[in-house]
Amino acid sequence: MADIKSVIGTQNKKGQTFTDPWKLLHEAPRTPSFFTGSEVIKEAIRRASCDVMIAYPITPQSEAAALIGELFAEGYVGDYFRGESEFAVMSQCAGAAFGGARVFTTTAGPGTMRAMENFPMWAGARLPIQMIVTCRGINSPLSIQPDTLEIAYLLNTGMLVWHAETAQDFFDWILKGYMVSEEPDVHLPLALCCDGFFVTHTKDVVNLTPADMCLPPYDPYRSPVPCMDMECPPVRMMRDPFVMKSNYISYATHASWQQEIWAAIERSRKHSIHWLNGLIDTENVDADIMIVTSGTAVSQGREAIRMLEDEGVRCGLVKVKTLRPWPEEEIREATKNAKHIFVPEFNVTGWLAKEIRATIPNPHRVHAGPHVCGGMTMPPEIIVSEIKTALGMKTFSLAGRGS
Amino acid sequence: MGIRLPNPGEAHINGVIESEEKAYEEAARQFLMAKVPTIFPGPLVLWAWNEKAAKKATAIRHLFNTLKECVQPGQKPMLIPMPDYRPKYPKINPEVEINPNHPNLTIWHNKIDCCMFVGVHCHQANLSLKIIRGGTSCYTIAMCAQAGHEDAMLSFRDASVEKIMKLADTVKRLKGTVQPRLNSKSGASN
């Protein structure tokens, strides 16, 4: 039985030193590197001591999946193969995780939707699989362009859901994500989302930890469920009376099981705060006007705040880092002084604005927008225009962009 | 659901983070007050799958023997295993085992009013503890080897042989200082 502490300081077969995760991420020297988001995913996985990665091509995550194939060829990933479809990939990820492996996969858009049945199964089975979701359009007619609608479908699966703004977030959160999701009181899958193309296909300066240092391996003996027990739920599903019967005991068991999954998300709060330095980041929380958003809309919001400052309008910002666990108390506290709360989003339905409205008192303060979707970019000017319009200030014509 | 679990060196009592020292006292008091104080050992300590598990099993047996020595006439300590997690139909035999899918049956049948989980995988322990909390008035203690259980009324974390032995020592020390609830109607009630 592996004791994680006992491997710290020893080397893996590639000569990487298993390093205390906190020291790796907070104390180890960092090297600025100019990489695309996809390359950053590869570099994070190089340091993640992953046992299994299963791939299936779908834009815009294909490049990251292929790059991890290179890592496998170099010997940094234990096993790597292509599934028959996204549904197959997610099922195969479950099999690997049931067997006690640290598992990684990537998907996007219609791939996420095709595999959806597996995600509540992962959560119910307490499998700490990490899945990168490089969000893109999911609807017909086909679009490969950035759009975050698929995140809305992930929110009630029982997975942890984080939304990265930058490639730097991506690098750090892939490694930190394993630390949170593998805690025995959490032990849930993590959907680590980003806005496709904007993060995956653009280059940015990312500060990387040394390539010769890596996370300690996953310890399956810390799992809250037995490893691959074929005679017990959740592995054995269809033959068991309590699963199939309509009686009070059956319902009580299922209800307790579901409550336990959502309790595990709640318990992840403590660990997420520890590793991410809070579930949200804030700026100017005493301002009357706040922008609350996640993903790359945060970057656009930040630029809009700078432009508004030039016009004498003071505006604050809340960057929502984790969608599950949902930072309810933090958002309530950060917006308590706000008279107007704007929620820019890269999707048509405004799911984030709905979550925020359900969280704060006086929800009429929430302006659900601006929205862009179908792959449109979100120039900061349309956020500025939305805010100025709401404040009754004169604004310029935007040629019909946005809502 | 929703309480914060203790950090290393801490425990919780009714959802409030307390020192481990206080938790030993309270757990021992609850054992000594109960009509039917019961230990539920799970698969992680029932099978000698490593040396540590075998030592823990010996410590648990010692705790049970200590309980038997320290209770007063009319109290009935029990040791009922949770050998596996398979759902069983039509139902388990509550005389001999407890099962995480319907733990209330064993609590009701044996009129257990205080129990301690030890060596049960965390997910199954929480499943059981939720059902016990929802359907019985039994006081629940978790001697958890990982992060602890918010669904227990009192929970230790990072359980070890030393912690189990210390609980046994505390029971011995408090012997005769706690009045058992022999006349109350609590116990297996729902």
The DSSP code sequence of B2-13 is -PPPPPTTEEEE
The answer on pLDDT for B7 being more than 70 is yes
Can you give the pLDDT at residue A398? 63
Domain B18-174 sits in which CATH superfamily? TPP-binding domain (3.40.50.1220)
A226 at B interface, C-beta within 8 A: yes
CA distance A160 to B35: 43
Cis amide linkage into residue A141, ω under 30° from 0? yes
Is B78 touching A (CB cutoff 8 A)? no
Cross-chain Cβ contact B148/A233 below 8 Å: no
Report how far residue A154's alpha carbon sits from residue A148's, in angstroms, rounded to the nearest whole number: 11
Is the pLDDT at B189 greater than 60? The verdict is no
Q: What's the pTM value of the predicted model, to 2 decimals?
A: 0.95
- Predicted local confidence at residue A399, as pLDDT: 59
CATH architecture of A280-390: 3-Layer(aba) Sandwich (3.40)
3-class DSSP state of B67: helix
Q: pLDDT > 90: what percent of chain B? A: 86
SS3 B59: helix
The residue written with tokens 């989980």 in the block is B117
Residue B169: CB atoms within 10 A of its CB come to: 15
Question: CB-based contacts of B15: which residues, under 8 Å, 6+ apart?
Answer: B3, B150
How high is the pLDDT of residue A1?
44
Q: Which CATH architecture has domain A7-222?
A: 3-Layer(aba) Sandwich (3.40)
pLDDT of residue B190: 45
Residue A231 with chain B: CB contacts under 8 Å: 84, 86
Say if the Cβ atoms of B124 and A253 lie within 8 Å.
no
Residues 89-148 of B with CB under 8 A from A: 89-91, 101-102, 121-124, 126-127, 130-131, 134-135, 146-148
Could you tell me if B53 lies within 8 Å of chain A, comparing CB atoms?
Answer: no
Q: Which residues touch B71 (CB under 8 Å, ≥6 apart)?
A: B32, B37, B77, B180
At B77, the amino acid letter reads P
For A86, A140, B35, B127, B156, the CA distances from A49, given in Å and listed in that order, are: 23, 38, 51, 31, 31
Q: Give the tens place of pLDDT for each residue, B33-45.
A: 999 999 999 999 9
A4 touches chain B (CB under 8 A): no
Burial of A213 (C-beta count, 10 Å sphere; 0-12/13-18/19+):
middle
Q: Is B5 close to A185, i.e. CB distance below 8 A?
A: yes
Tell me the two tokens of residue B16: 């409030």
On the question of a common fold for A7-222 and A280-390, the answer reads: yes
> What distance in Å separates the CA atoms of residue A36 and residue A200, rounded to the nearest whole number?
6
pLDDT of residue A234: 73
Do A253 and B5 lie within an 8 Å CB cutoff? no
- Judged by CB atoms closer than 8 Å, whether chains meet at A223 and B121 is answered as yes
Contact flag A231-B150 (C-beta cutoff 8 Å):
no
Residue to test with chain A: of B17, B50, B102, B121, most A Cβ within 10 A:
B121
Q: Quick one: angle between helices A37-46 and A62-74, nearest 10?
A: 30
Which residues numbered 168-197 in A keep a CB inside 8 Å of some CB on B?
183-185, 187
Query: What whole-number distance in Å separates Cα of residue A340 and Cα of residue A328?
Result: 18
Q: Which residues of A touch B151 (CB under 8 A)?
A: 263
**Other C-beta atoms lying within 10 Å of the C-beta of residue A311:** 9
- Strand partners for A315: A289
Report the C-alpha gap between A190 and A131 in whole angstroms. 6
In order, the DSSP letters of B97-108 are: ---TTSHHHHHH
Q: Chains A, B: CB contacts under 8 A, how many?
A: 85
pLDDT for res B1: 46
CA distance B149 to chain A (A): 8
A238 exposure class (CB count in 10 Å sphere: 0-12, 13-18, 19+): exposed
What's the pLDDT score for residue A395?
A: 81
The domain spans of chain A are 7-222, 280-390
Tell me the helix, strand and coil percentages in chain B, rounded to 5: 40, 15, 45
pLDDT along chain A (403 residues), means of 10: 77 97 97 96 98 95 94 97 96 95 97 96 96 94 92 98 97 98 98 93 95 97 87 69 70 90 96 98 97 97 97 97 98 97 97 98 96 93 95 76 50
| The three-state (H, E, C) secondary structure of chain A, written as one string | CCCHHHHCCCECCCCCEECCHHHHHHCCCCEEEEEEHHHHHHHHHHCCCCCEEEECCCCCCHHHHHHHHHHHHHCCCCEEEECCCHHHHHHHHHHHHHCCCCEEEEECHHHHHHCCCHHHHHHHCCCCCEEEEEECCCCCCCCCCCCCHHHHHHCCCCCEEEECCCHHHHHHHHHHHHHHHCCCCCCCCEEEEEECCCCCCCEEEEEECCCCEECCCCCHHHCCCCCCCCCCCCCCCCCCHHHHCCCHHHHHHHHHHHHHHHHHHHHHHHHHHHHHCCCEEEECCCCCEEEEECCCHHHHHHHHHHHHHHCCCCEEEEEECEEECCCHHHHHHHCCCCCEEECCECCCCCHHHHHHHCCCCCHHHEECCCECCCCCCCCHHHHHHHHHHHCCCCCCCCCCCCC
pLDDT of residue B179: 93
Rounded distance between C-alpha atoms, residue B46 and residue B83, angstroms: 7
Q: Which residue has the tokens 């704060």?
A: A360
Q: How far apart are CA B186 and CA A81, in angstroms?
A: 58
Collapse the DSSP code of B38 into the 3-class scheme (helix H, G, I; strand E, B; otherwise coil) and give the result: strand
State the best of A256, A261, A268, A269 to mutate against chain B, taking most chain B CBs within 10 Å.
A256
Flag whether residue B10 sits within 8 Å of chain A, measured between CB atoms: no
- What is the distance between the alpha carbons of residues A159 and A148, in angstroms, rounded to a whole number? 17
Query: Is the Cβ pair B87, A233 closer than 8 Å?
Result: yes
ipTM of this complex: 0.92
Q: What is the tens place of the pLDDT at every residue in B52-93? A: 999 999 999 999 999 999 999 999 999 999 998 887 777 789
